[in-house]
Amino acid sequence: MQKKEMLYEGKAKKVFATEEPEIYIVSYKDDATAFNGQKKGTIVGKGVVNNRMSNFMFRLLEQQGIPTHYIEELNDRETAVKKVSIVPLEVIVRNTAAGSLSKRLGLPEGTPMKTPVLEYSYKNDELGDPMVNDYHILAMDLATREELDKIAAMSFKINELMVEFFRSVGVDLIDFKIEFGKTTAGEIILADEISPDTCRFWDVNTHEKLDKDRFRRDMGGVEEAYDEMMKRIGLR
């Protein structure tokens, strides 16, 4: 698989075309941003962690019947994926209150949710990824009713599978963000990444944070936390 021209450079990844029209290569960077790009930095080795952890999770989810964009890990930072057009939504699933939900609803961080909470944000940096609901999504034609139903059902299933897996390695899955893509054939599949950048992971016993909140909140031990997550899932 050969990289051809770069199609897109985001905050944490680059996407390249290949000689195969239906296959892209994603390349993960160590660049870290938070608060809609206002805070910038580097997390040494993050690209490797996010690439390898995402691929591990995608393989696990595929085995449980969730279609994903994953094709093949090429090296520590690069992966071949199916070409998709990204549905411009950040899909967030929450099991425990934290971050923006805690602020918005006045729930202390760590408050368990009685049932999982599904939220959508419209992916638009200029607007700061505003939260939207089904009506906004349909009215703006960001997805069809059928696509949105599929996205919601897949998101809850992904949450169940991920909660169970991370529990088994001593980690509470507090919340996470995923993105979906549409293949040329029109199928909705899981895309983007699943990593400490996009999930909140707390140690089951100590509640120590093992994710990007350590960077967002200047807590220190960022690289160590990413490394610990790799150890927990058996990749180090």
Which parts of this chain interact with ligand UDP (CB under 6 A)?
90, 92, 98-101, 129, 175-177, 198-200, 212
The minimum distance between CB 59 and ligand UDP, in angstroms, equals: 20
The minimum distance between CB 170 and ligand UDP, in angstroms, equals: 18
- 3-class state of residue 229 by DSSP: helix
Closer of 16 and 120 to ligand UDP (Cβ)? 120
Q: State the residue for tokens 């760590």.
A: 110
**CA–CA gap between residue 122 and residue 87 (Å, rounded):** 9
Closer of 81 and 92 to ligand UDP (Cβ)? 92
**CA–CA gap between residue 94 and residue 97 (Å, rounded):** 7
Closer of 189 and 194 to ligand UDP (Cβ)? 194
The minimum distance between CB 84 and ligand UDP, in angstroms, equals: 18
Closer of 78 and 90 to ligand UDP (Cβ)? 90
From 43, 85, 51, 71, select the one nearest 220 (Cα to Cα).
Answer: 43
Q: State the residue for tokens 């450079």.
A: 9
The minimum distance between CB 213 and ligand UDP, in angstroms, equals: 7
- Decide: 95 and 163 in contact? Cβ < 8 Å: yes
Closer of 4 and 8 to ligand UDP (Cβ)? 8
Closer of 24 and 196 to ligand UDP (Cβ)? 196
What DSSP string runs through 69-81?
SEEEE-SSSEEEE
> Which residues, including other chains, have CB under 8 Å from residue 13's CB and lie 6 or more apart?
26, 27, 28, 29, 193
The minimum distance between CB 184 and ligand UDP, in angstroms, equals: 26
Report DSSP state, residue 17.
Answer: E
The minimum distance between CB 196 and ligand UDP, in angstroms, equals: 8
**CA–CA gap between residue 33 and residue 103 (Å, rounded):** 20
Q: Which two tokens stand for residue 48?
A: 């490797």
Closer of 69 and 200 to ligand UDP (Cβ)? 200
**CA–CA gap between residue 97 and residue 140 (Å, rounded):** 29
**CA–CA gap between residue 183 and residue 69 (Å, rounded):** 9
The minimum distance between CB 185 and ligand UDP, in angstroms, equals: 27
